[in-house]
Amino acid sequence: DQQVKQNSPSLSVQEGRISILNCDYTNSMFDYFLWYKKYPAEGPTFLISISSIKDKNEDGRFTVFLNKSAKHLSLHIVPSQPGDSAVYFCAASAGGFGNEKLTFGTGTRLTIIP
Amino acid sequence: EPEVTQTPSHQVTQMGQEVILRCVPISNHLYFYWYRQILGQKVEFLVSFYNNEISEKSEIFDDQFSVERPDGSNFTLKIRSTKLEDSAMYFCASSGRAYSNQPQHFGDGTRLSIL
């Protein structure tokens, strides 16, 4: 089941630069997308989300872009900080009413180099 | 900030034994979930729970599994007769009001090891 794909298992970025994490999906019924950050021995922490009626959502250093025609979303982190080093998961849900189950990608390990 | 809490953090159980994983969701949340992550694999949905009943379950969630909200605060996952392949991290999550997109908030998980 590869409905949500994160094709880059790892990414290294210099501190202060932009980090761009990518996610592709195949299920056209997905209408709500989320990014989670995970440290070892902790649960996923919600970062930012976007509804399919939008193409961009911004929260501080984090911006999520959604391209519905390409079934692609990305997370931009600017500027990147050492504390951003973690595994980032893309997740999606379908149904329109909210609170449906999440389908996760496999994650991208982001390393910020000081 | 309110958080989802899970106990125990690590549970070691003999194959065939029953295990109960416990969760305290965020207090004003209405939807509750269990997910699991087998080592090296994706986080997978198990079950969602709303208004005191299961709203959706995955094919993983077979008759060996059950969920319960025994009081106003706890949400439990029971595995009746554990198998080696049940070894995984189990995450509880909760989310807020109905009929709007609300992010799910996760606990730190219970590592279940079946011997």
pLDDT tens, residue by residue, A13-62: 999 999 999 999 999 999 999 999 999 889 999 999 999 999 999 999 99
Our CA-based measurement puts residue A24 at a distance from the nearest CA of chain B, in whole angstroms, of: 15
Res B112 pLDDT > 90 = yes
CATH of the domain at B36: 2.60.40.10
CB contact under 8 A, A99 and B31: yes
Q: Return d(Cα A7, Cα A25) in angstroms, integer.
A: 11
Residues of B in contact with A46 (CB under 8 A): 103-106
**B112 and B88 in contact (C-beta within 8 Å)?**
yes
Query: CB distance from B25 to chain A under 8 Å?
Result: no
Pick the closest to residue B114 from B40, B17, B15, B39 (CA basis): B15
Residues of B in contact with A30 (CB under 8 A): none
DSSP of B48-63: EEETTEEEEE-TT--T
How many domains does chain B fold into? 1
Partnered with residue A5 across adjacent β-strands are A24
Q: Is position B12 within any domain?
A: yes
Q: Is position B34 within any domain?
A: yes
Res A41: pLDDT:
86
Res A47: pLDDT:
97
Q: Return d(Cα B101, Cα A100) in angstroms, integer.
A: 9
Sequence-separated (6 or more) residues with CB below 8 Å from residue A16: A79, A80
Residue B82 sits in which domain range?
5-96
| Greatest extent of chain A over all pairs of C-alpha atoms, in Å | 42
Q: Is position B114 within any domain?
A: no
Burial of A111 (0-12, 13-18, 19+ CB in 10 A): middle
Sequence-separated (6 or more) residues with CB below 8 Å from residue B93: A43, B4, B25, B32, B33, B34, B35, B104, B105, B106, B107
Q: Binning pLDDT at 50, 70 and 90, where does residue A96 land?
A: low
Q: Is position B45 within any domain?
A: yes
Q: Is position B107 within any domain?
A: no
CATH number for the domain formed by residue range(s) A4-113? 2.60.40.10
With CA atoms as reference, the chain A residue closest to B109 would be: A43
Write out pLDDT tens, residues B19-71: 999 999 998 898 999 999 999 899 999 999 998 999 999 999 999 999 999 88
**CA R_g for chain B:** 13
Q: Binning pLDDT at 50, 70 and 90, where does residue A1 land?
A: low
